[in-house]
Homo-oligomer: A and B are copies of this chain.
Amino acid sequence: MMSVTQKEQKNVRALLTVKGRKQQGRFVAEGVRLLEEAIRQNYLPEKLYYSDHLLTERGRELINKCAQAGFRLIEASARQMAQMSEVKSSQGLLAVFKRSDQTLGESFDGSCRRILLCDNISDPGNLGTLLRSARAFGFETVILSGRPTDCSAPKVVRASAGAIFGLKIIPAQYDSIRKFAQLKRATLIASDLNADESLDLNATMTDPLILAVGSEADGVGPEIVAMSDQRIRIKHEAGVESLNAAAAGSILMYMIYSNDRG
């Protein structure tokens, strides 16, 4: 077992910032549940820091398994862990992962059926919840367009409940999305606050399908509306301005998923 160096601590702290994650091409996940989920998805950590005194029983079991599996374990004192950690009370477990930065072109192998497109989703909690629902409802790929929040930010990773480890997540420009949709003959359905129609489930029974959801303030942007085959709105009571973006996206994904399952 090794002990954490000052340089490592500094590197991990830097991963709490957008800049640091970009420079290092890495991100952090903390806690037992997230690490279990990552391993279950076979998204293995590059480094695993643990602080013996802070571990729960479940955390200790996990660390023992990781040691047996030959993972690179690095010990940290409770104080060192607190300095590296972003959460208030650390569970004594912090893992560093490589980011898998893919592009739309190279990452598509034809198996792709259901794609969630998040346009300008800037709230980390909402993006994380959308990723979690995407994984639950069989949307195996997520495209991020506009000015999204960084999907490897700690808050997004946490809110995704580890879904981030099981999804293809691809930031993309509008131009490449348009080309991709054309090339794959994908149907693009955009959730749009100003649309009149509800989701037509018959139109979703086609591969591949791209479901676009937008920011709360502005909905899906004009670039996405322009390339959409259908614009739809979730019906709700009059006098209500809009739904939470993550709630709206989850409802639409669930409807498409249920319909797929028949």
Contact = CB atoms under 8 A, between A and B. Distances in A.
A236 B257 contact: yes
A152 to B, nearest CB: 19
Main secondary structure of the interface of A (DSSP, over half): helix
Interface residues of A, number: 32
B246 A136 contact: no
Given A244-B250, A250-B247, A251-B250, A237 B136 contact: yes
Copies per complex?
A: 2
Nearest to A250: B247
B239 A40 contact: yes
A161 interface: yes
Contacts of A251: 250-251, 254
A234 B243 CA distance: 20
A231 interface: no
Given A250-B250, A251-B251, A136 B258 contact: no
Contacts of A136: 236-237, 240, 243
A20 to B, nearest CB: 22
Contacts of A132: 243-244, 247
A147 to B, nearest CB: 18
Interface of A: 37, 40, 125, 129, 132-133, 135-138, 159, 161, 163, 166, 234-237, 239-244, 246-247, 250-251, 254, 257-258, 261
